[in-house]
Structure 1
Amino acid sequence: MKKLGLLPRILIAIVLGIAIGYISPMWFARIMATFNTIFSQFLGFMIPMIIVGFVAPAIADIGGRAGKLLVVTAAIAYIATFFAGILSYLTGTLSFPSLIGGEQGMALLGDTSKVLPFFNIEMPPLMTVMTALVFAFMFGLGMAFVKGTVLRKGFDELRDIVSKTIDTAILPLLPFYIFGIFLNMTLEGQVEMILKCFVKIIVIIFILHVFILVLQYCIASLFARKNPFSMLRTMLPAYFTALGTQSSAATIPVTLRQAIKMGVSEDIAGFVIPLCATIHMSGSTLKIVACALALMIMHDQPHDLGLFCHFIGMLGITIIAAPGIPGGAIMASIGLLQSILGFDEQMVALMIALYIAMDSFGTACNVTGDGAIAAIIDRIFTPNKSITANR
């Protein structure tokens, strides 16, 4: 099954969950509900560990590279990520109500009788999400400016442990978790409504991805003074490589090569591309915000702009250095979905399924946008560089 990749396994889990849900006896549904309850508890326990394990070493690594180039690159990457989230929110508020607002039955989820687990095992997290973020920031910044190696090595090992746990425990069990969720929704008669909404959401998000990339390269072209579509065409190998790898880190060699081919100087590309693979998350943020907004509309929950500005601002920081594995960004953002947006277990499961269904496209949007940022940084720091047409 591992050879299939995560997305095919998630799709198989959804299909089987729906198919078996129509014929499943109640005892089997309760077994799956028990598994889902325990898995959800373990996932909640891991959320602060994921934040500390990934954010603290990432901040230490970024902070260790002092200089104006770092500050400007990080600022542009964060602005691009935040703008993508806001654009996703505004587009969703205009389009989602008319597309999925008719499914008002989703607002009645609380009135349906859910399948009860046989038992539950409590796994309280070591700290809250906000405590984990403050802890990660304090130690990340401290490690960046204190010339020591012991604590840094310890956090690097913690990151490896958390990453290994995600890769060997959470991701392999995730299809069973999704299977149980869709099995339960089928028993309760909600699955057809949800699948119709899924298709509509995916189409809107794909259109947004294309628009974001075109907009990023139109802005970059103003700095580089080149044809934006020619620049974007040069970066397409990185886009398609990311579709296959589902990892920004694994696509760095191709992104770097294409950025240089686009006309970015080797020194600037060698610094900006690996850094942006860690901190530039426009595609991932766009997806997470759109999916979260859609689910909140479906569940008739408040979703004002202020709430989402808070969520997007924290999200742009929390998902930096998300592990180079499929679904890393959504795993790192679960804590914010629960603490800021008020997601429950079922909404988190639907969020994971929606996100992973489009994981490749989000990663491709991230890495392709890295080329636009590199072009902007190259023009800012090498203003006298000769302009070569990219035709």
Structure 2
Amino acid sequence: MSAKKIGLLPRLILAIVAGIILGTVTHSGHLPLPVQILATFNGIFGNFLSFIIPLIIIGFVIPGIADLGADAGKLLAITAGIAYGSTLLAGTLAFATDSVFFPLFLSSHADIFSHANPEDALLPGLFGIDMPPLMGVMTALILSFVLGIGIAVTRSETLKNVAREFQNIVGKVIEVIIIPLLPIHILGVFTNMTHAGQVGLILKIFIKVFAIVIALHVIMILIQYTIACLVSKRNPFTSIKKMIPAYFTALGTQSSAATIPVTLASAKSIGIKEKIADFVIPLCATIHLAGSTITLTSCSMAILILHGQTASPGVMLPFIAILGIAMVAAPGIPGGAVMAALGFVQSMLGFNDTMCSLIIALYIAQDSFGTACNVTGDGAIAILVDAISKDKE
């Protein structure tokens, strides 16, 4: 069986387990060289990630905005507005809940990384290769907005085709290079953290974090369907029940895009008009990632607290607002959301390479549940848009 057929999540779990075993062996045997070899790979891979992140933003945001601008007018604006509002609500709900519960079990471990710089506890690589990015993350985002809106307004098919071709190239880089190498990267991270004596407590702590994250996913789905069904005068529990096939399909695919056929069928079984479902569901598979936003917000807050930093409203709320926009740049592949968000956890939250590696591992470990929340919420948005469009007829 090839590595592709095994699936990303099982490969990451194997990488984490192998990293813990290798780190334990090298620590007890005083064998730093294997750890340093992996640290060398991680340093190079991390630099490549820093280089490619602005290109990911440009590659996915420009065609995303260009396509939105060329579509169905008021219906598009309504759907995009509801999707962004849902994403903001999800992030704010996560922030409010995490602010209450995380200090109860994370604050006592705020010195888990005992050094002023957490990377001081880790072994360095044998050498490094600098790969400076072509531009900063915010520069890439602003450039993407300018070009995306410009293409939509001028209806330039030539530039739109160029943007799509560039998107395909960046998508291939993610699919063929970054995603396959992530397990080796995670192997190196956990080997080094175990060698430094940090990993055991981290895993125990994040089991509690994941429990809160999954509970928030369920609560967010209930909120979405309660609001949508109040407006449309439907039964929220019956509607959720009909979306269950989409939920469980997403658990397996870890991709909103790959789940679109099942999400469409489930949404239509609720009684949503076919033309509304056909428009809203594929669009929301790209722009609505409420579950992913909950996960990224919660994991970011937990990592900040564990590094002795403050996850204050002034830091987190602007991050959540930008995250909702960044989700438009999320490729429809497993782990795509965290790749799109990586530049913003660096630029807005001050994450270093070790913290970025940790959030990648943590995010992908529960990516199935976040994706399932995303696609189930798409059904609620379709219900709401259907009800609003009927009112306007």
* Fold-level similarity (TM above 0.5): yes
Alignment CA distance shift 1:107-1:22 (3 Å): closer
Provide the C-alpha distance between the structure 1 equivalents of 2:301 and 2:168, rounded to a whole number of angstroms.
32
Query: How do 1:200-219 and structure 2 match up within 5 A?
Result: 200-219=208-227
The CA deviation at 1:268 is 1.1
The amino acid that maps onto 2:7 is G
Q: Is the 8 A contact 2:286 2:332 kept in 1?
A: no
The CA deviation at 1:230 is 0.8
* Match for residue 220 of structure 1 among 219, 228, 236: 228
* C-alpha distance after superposition, 1:254-280 (max 9, x if no partner): 111111110111111111111111111
* Match for residue 93 of structure 2 among 83, 87, 90: 87
Provide the C-alpha distance between the structure 1 equivalents of 2:147 and 2:262, rounded to a whole number of angstroms.
33
Q: Which runs of 5+ in 2 are unaligned?
A: none
Question: What's the secondary structure of 1:297's corresponding residue?
Answer: helix
- 2:281 match: 273
1:127 aligns with 2:135: yes
The runs of 4+ residues in structure 1 deviating greater than 6 Å are none
TM-score where L is the length of structure 2: 0.96
- 1:389 match: none
- Equivalent residues, number: 385
Q: Is the 8 A contact 2:113 2:198 kept in 1?
A: no
- 1:64 match: 70
* Match for residue 46 of structure 1 among 15, 35, 52: 52
The CA deviation at 1:113 is 3.4
Q: Which runs of 5+ in 1 are unaligned?
A: 386-391
1:97 aligns with 2:103: yes
The CA deviation at 1:66 is 4.5
- 2:159 match: 151
Provide the C-alpha distance between the structure 1 equivalents of 2:347 and 2:198, rounded to a whole number of angstroms.
26
* C-alpha distance after superposition, 1:306-347 (max 9, x if no partner): 211111111111121421110000001000000000001111
Query: How do 1:241-256 and structure 2 match up within 5 A?
Result: 241-256=249-264
Provide the C-alpha distance between the structure 1 equivalents of 2:161 and 2:330, rounded to a whole number of angstroms.
18
* Match for residue 382 of structure 2 among 358, 374, 383: 374
The CA deviation at 1:177 is 0.7
Provide the C-alpha distance between the structure 1 equivalents of 2:329 and 2:202, rounded to a whole number of angstroms.
31
The CA deviation at 1:9 is 0.6
Query: How do 1:309-388 and structure 2 match up within 5 A?
Result: 309-383=317-391
* Match for residue 237 of structure 1 among 232, 242, 245: 245
- 1:16 match: 18
Alignment CA distance shift 1:52-1:384 (3 Å): closer
* C-alpha distance after superposition, 1:176-222 (max 9, x if no partner): 11111111111111111101111111111011111110111111110
**How well do the aligned residues superpose, as a CA RMSD in angstroms?**
1.3
The amino acid that maps onto 2:343 is G
* C-alpha distance after superposition, 1:345-378 (max 9, x if no partner): 1111110011001111111101100111111111
Question: What's the secondary structure of 2:350's corresponding residue?
Answer: coil
The CA deviation at 1:231 is 0.7
Sequence identity percentage: 51
The amino acid that maps onto 1:343 is F
* Match for residue 175 of structure 1 among 154, 162, 183: 183
* Match for residue 7 of structure 1 among 9, 19, 22: 9
